[in-house]
């Protein structure tokens, strides 16, 4: 057996040994260590270890960027997770980025968000040719941390779908089974991380879009509490602020370090601890495998979550039944009308940019169906917005009334379904039922602003990942990170690799 040096592991194989060794030697302070630090092997290598090695001069940014580009080129033909690539720009920037904690580490930005120098399609044919003039707020923080962006990861049109099969770039395929979906809307990012192209990638979540693809692709994804990380330009957000941005990662510590480096620190929340440790206190965990609106949940998903509940009990946590403090059917109706309003607004933006009337040649049938739903019910919007604004207290009462610290549920109603079942061209009524059955657990945390995460602790009998969703209240981000570190140590996942893997 060939013995890999740490540099060799970072390079990702002998085929890359001839790559240029130029790059920066700027040393920055080490990222916060954790007792769950990942070993420096090719399978488990994370962005924190990569950044430390670059800063120490053990490798260079150009080596790591070139290796990541080679990995992307090796597997993207199988998974189709890249909406656009800017490899020449990335090579030129490697070694010359801002001296932040993640200086020189390669990554991707989700196609719904702007990165200066790369096109943004918003997952839509209508926006082909759009080149933003500046970064969006969270990507700007990533640039300040010295990250090197290789391109944009795929997303469904405007993130409106739980599967990443947009007409503009085609279907993104799951590295665990390329006949299956990757989830949405951060599907391309999750696929690239699962295939070990990059250690982490940018993601956003307005109704489950970090946690759903994290679950279906077997990676870690934390949805921050509302206001913890930058999400919007300017002080005024939407009427009900449901969308946040962060990342999908292999290791928990990468997620925590990215969170810490981009946290707004405006006084709303305390800064994430600089010495984050696995959870020490024991929790009372509310547990349910029933979908909030009563939709069907697959037997393998229920079995996986029951196993995780037993894992938590074995770690000393108290597991108790959870009953929702709100009507799941009422929530679903209000949320989807608000979601449809967003689709209608996007359709108008697509029309304005393309110069064409709203129709099937510029936006997808799913987007048009949601738009028509909004038009038919727009008189209900004021009451809907008021109801959603009051939902946080309803959600929180389930924790106080039942004296629980954290909620444990599935992320989705089943493991990844077959490609085409949730394609945007499926008849609207059929697709509606499929989407609300699959994406059946995540949206309440968006409306309440709560912290929530998908942890890759289970696989189905056929080998598909099944994430476990742990959710707290708004501001419980550190608690979830501490719990995630404990679970990562108890049941490590980083060495479990899909069939399509670049390492």
**352 burial via Cβ count (<10 Å: 0-12, 13-18, 19+):** exposed
Q: What are phi and psi of 222, to 5 degrees?
A: -105, 125
Q: Nearest 5 degrees, angle CA 320-CA 479-CA 207?
A: 80
Whole-angstrom distance, CA of residue 231 vs CA of residue 118: 19
Q: Provide the 10 A C-beta neighbour count for residue 451.
A: 26
pLDDT of amino acid 33: 41
Q: Is the dihedral of CA 92, 137, 114, 465 positive or negative?
A: positive
Please give the DSSP secondary-structure letter assigned to residue 423: -
Q: What is the pLDDT of residues 248-269, one digit of tens each?
A: 999 999 999 999 999 999 899 9
Contact 223, 210 (CB under 8 A): yes
Note the CATH architecture for domain 45-265+272-326+391-490: Alpha-Beta Complex (3.90)
Whole-angstrom distance, CA of residue 138 vs CA of residue 115: 10
Q: What is the pLDDT of residues 372-399, one digit of tens each?
A: 999 999 999 999 999 999 999 999 999 9
pLDDT of amino acid 44: 56
Choice among 209, 225, 468, 471 that is catalytic: 209
Calculated CA dihedral for residues 114, 92, 173, 366, nearest 10 degrees: 20
pLDDT of amino acid 237: 81
pLDDT of amino acid 153: 99
User: Beta partners for 466?
Assistant: 458
Q: What is the DSSP string of 251-298?
A: SHHHHHHHHHHH---SSSSPPPPTT-----S--EEEE--S-TT-----
| Sequence-distant (≥ 6) Cβ neighbours of residue 303 within 8 angstroms | none
Whole-angstrom distance, CA of residue 340 vs CA of residue 384: 12
Sequential pLDDT tens for the chain (503 residues):
222 223 333 333 323 222 222 333 333 333 444 333 343 344 457 999 999 999 999 999 999 999 999 999 999 999 999 999 999 999 999 989 999 999 999 999 999 999 999 999 999 999 999 999 999 999 999 999 999 999 999 999 999 999 999 999 999 999 999 999 999 999 999 999 999 999 999 999 999 999 999 999 999 999 999 999 999 887 678 999 999 999 999 999 999 999 999 999 989 999 999 999 999 999 999 999 999 999 999 999 999 999 999 999 999 999 999 999 999 999 999 999 999 999 999 999 999 999 999 999 999 999 999 999 999 999 999 999 999 999 999 999 999 999 999 999 999 999 999 999 999 999 999 999 999 999 999 999 999 999 999 999 999 999 999 999 999 999 999 999 999 999 999 999 999 999 999 97
Please give the DSSP secondary-structure letter assigned to residue 33: P
Is 440 a known active-site residue? no
Residue from 246, 243, 236 nearest 158 by CA: 243
Q: Nearest 5 degrees, angle CA 479-CA 204-CA 97?
A: 95
Q: What is the pLDDT of residues 287-340, one digit of tens each?
A: 999 999 999 999 999 999 999 999 999 999 999 999 999 999 999 999 999 999
pLDDT of amino acid 5: 29
Is 209 a known active-site residue? yes
Contact 119, 130 (CB under 8 A): yes
Q: What are phi and psi of 68, to 5 degrees?
A: -65, -40
Domain ranges of the chain: 45-265+272-326+391-490
Chain-centroid distance of CA 116 in Å reads 21
- For the chain, the farthest-separated pair of C-alpha atoms sits apart, in whole angstroms, at 69
Is 185 a known active-site residue? yes
Please give the DSSP secondary-structure letter assigned to residue 62: H
| Sequence-distant (≥ 6) Cβ neighbours of residue 268 within 8 angstroms | 227, 228
Whole-angstrom distance, CA of residue 146 vs CA of residue 106: 9
pLDDT of amino acid 36: 38
Residue 382's H or E segment, with its range, is helix 381-389
pLDDT of amino acid 232: 84
Whole-angstrom distance, CA of residue 269 vs CA of residue 364: 39
Whole-angstrom distance, CA of residue 43 vs CA of residue 501: 9
Choice among 110, 152, 223, 473 that is catalytic: 110
Q: What is the pLDDT of residues 204-224, one digit of tens each?
A: 999 999 999 999 999 999 999
């Amino acid at each position: 057996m060939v013995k890999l040096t740490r540099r060799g592991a970072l390079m990702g194989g002998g085929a890359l040994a001839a790559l240029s060794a130029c790059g920066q030697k700027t040393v920055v302070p080490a990222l916060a260590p954790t007792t769950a630090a990942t070993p420096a092997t090719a399978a488990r290598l994370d962005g924190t270890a990569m950044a430390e090695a670059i800063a120490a001069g053990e490798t260079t940014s150009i080596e790591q960027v070139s290796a990541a580009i080679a990995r992307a080129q090796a597997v993207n033909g199988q998974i189709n997770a890249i909406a656009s690539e800017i490899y020449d720009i990335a090579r030129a920037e490697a070694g010359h980025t801002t001296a932040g904690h993640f200086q020189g580490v390669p990554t991707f930005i989700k196609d719904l968000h702007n990165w200066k120098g790369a096109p943004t399609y918003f997952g839509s044919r209508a926006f082909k040719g759009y080149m933003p003039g500046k970064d969006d707020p969270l990507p700007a923080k990533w640039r300040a941390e010295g990250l090197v962006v290789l391109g944009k990861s795929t997303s469904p049109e405007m993130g409106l779908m739980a599967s990443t099969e947009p007409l503009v770039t085609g279907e993104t395929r799951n590295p665990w089974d390329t006949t299956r979906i990757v989830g949405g809307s951060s599907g391309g990012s999750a696929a690239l991380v699962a295939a070990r192209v990059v250690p982490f990638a940018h993601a956003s979540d307005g109704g489950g879009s970090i946690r759903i693809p994290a679950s279906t692709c077997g990676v870690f994804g934390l949805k921050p509490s509302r206001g913890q990380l930058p999400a919007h330009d300017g002080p005024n957000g939407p009427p009900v602020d449901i969308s946040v941005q962060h990342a999908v990662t292999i290791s928990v510590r990468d997620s925590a370090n990215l969170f810490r480096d981009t946290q707004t620190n405006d006084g709303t929340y305390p800064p994430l601890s600089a010495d984050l440790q696995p959870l020490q206190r024991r929790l009372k965990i509310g547990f349910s495998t029933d979908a909030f609106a009563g939709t069907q949940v697959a037997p393998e998903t229920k079995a996986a979550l029951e196993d995780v509940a037993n894992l938590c009990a074995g770690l000393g946590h108290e597991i108790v039944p959870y009953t929702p403090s709100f009507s799941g059917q009422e929530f679903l109706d209000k949320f989807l009308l608000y979601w449809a309003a967003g689709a209608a607004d996007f359709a108008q933006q697509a029309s304005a940019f393309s110069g064409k009337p709203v129709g099937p040649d510029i936006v997808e049938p799913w987007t048009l169906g949601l738009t028509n739903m909004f038009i038919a019910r727009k008189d209900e919007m004021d009451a809907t917005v008021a109801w959603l604004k009051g939902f946080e207290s309803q959600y929180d009462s389930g924790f106080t009334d039942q004296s629980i610290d954290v909620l444990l549920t599935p992320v989705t109603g089943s493991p990844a379904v077959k490609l085409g079942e949730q394609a945007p061209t499926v008849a609207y009524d059929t697709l509606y039922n499929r989407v609300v059955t699959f994406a059946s657990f995540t949206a309440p945390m968006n409306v309440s602003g709560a912290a929530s995460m998908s942890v890759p602790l289970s696989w189905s009998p056929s080998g598909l990942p099944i994430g476990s969703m742990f959710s707290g209240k708004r501001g419980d981000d550190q608690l979830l990170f501490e719990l995630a570190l404990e679970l990562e140590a108890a049941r490590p996942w980083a060495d479990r690799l899909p069939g399509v893997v670049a390492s």
